[in-house]
Amino acid sequence: MQILFFITEGDNCVDSERLEEAISFYKQALKIRENNPEVYTKLGYVFIRKGEYNQAISFLQKGCRLSPKNVSLLNGLARAYRKSHQFVKAEDTYKKALEIDDEYIWALSGLGQIYLQKGDFDNAEIVYHKILSTDSSLHPNINLGIVYACKKDHEKIKYYFGRALSLIEA
C-alpha cells in the first residue's frame, strides 16, 4: 500500500507541474519496490518533460531490463533518444515497440517524425497513413500534408491540409 501513496503523490505533482517533487516521490516508491517498471516509466517521462534526456534514458533502460516487452517503456526510451538526437537508437527502439504492438500510435508517430527528419518521405507516408487508418485527428493529416509538401505532390498537399483545416474549424 505504501508504494501506491508515493506513486499517487508523484502523479499529483506531475499534474501540477511540480516535477522535482514528483521525482522525489517516485524515487521513494523505488526504495519500497525497486523492480517496479511503472515507476521507471514515470521517472523517465518526468525527465523527458524536464529536458534531462540522459537521466530519462537511464531510468527507462532500467525499466526495460525489468519489462522488455513493455511498449510504454520502449516508447519513452525511443522518445528520449529522439529528443537527444540519437536517431538510430530511437528508430530501433520505436521498431521494437511496434514489433510488440504494430498499432501503438505513439511509437508510430515517433517513427514518422524520425522518417521526416531523415528525409525518408516514402516511409513517413506509410507510417502516417497507418496512423490515419485508426486516428483521423488533426496531427496525422498535418503530417501527411508535410510529407506531400516535401514530395511536391500539390493535390495531396491541398487535400490533407484541407482536412486538417476542417478539423480545426470544427
Which domain CATH number covers 60? 1.25.40.10
Interval 39-89: pLDDT, tens: 999 999 999 999 999 999 999 999 999 999 999 999 999 999 999 999 999
In a domain, 49, yes or no: yes
How far apart are alpha carbons 95 and 140 in whole angstroms?
19
User: Please, which pLDDT band fits residue 163 given cuts at 50, 70 and 90?
Assistant: very high
Percent with pLDDT over 90 in the chain: 96
- Of 72, 78, 11, nearest to 46 by C-alpha is 11
φ, ψ dihedrals at 85, nearest 5°? 65, 30
Interval 77-132: pLDDT, tens: 999 999 999 999 999 999 999 999 999 999 999 999 999 999 999 999 999 999 99
In a domain, 151, yes or no: no
In a domain, 135, yes or no: no
In a domain, 26, yes or no: yes
User: Please, which pLDDT band fits residue 1 given cuts at 50, 70 and 90?
Assistant: confident
Read off the C-alpha cell for 92.
Answer: 530501433
Exposure pattern of 115-124 as b/e (b: 16+ CB <10 Å)?
bbeeeebeeb
pLDDT at 89: 98
Read off the C-alpha cell for 119.
Answer: 528525409
pLDDT at 115: 97
Domain containing residue 12? 1-86
In a domain, 64, yes or no: yes
Quick check: helix, strand or coil at residue 90?
A: helix
136 has a pLDDT exceeding 90? no
Q: What is the mean pLDDT of the chain?
A: 95
User: Within 13 Å, how many C-alpha atoms sit on residue 60's CB side?
Assistant: 26
pLDDT at 72: 94
The vertex-103 CA angle with 102 and 104, nearest 5°, equals 100
How far apart are alpha carbons 55 and 31 in whole angstroms?
18
The letter for the amino acid at 69 is K
In a domain, 82, yes or no: yes
pLDDT at 63: 96
In a domain, 60, yes or no: yes
Count of domains forming the chain? 1
In a domain, 63, yes or no: yes
Residue tagged 521498431 (cell numbers): 95
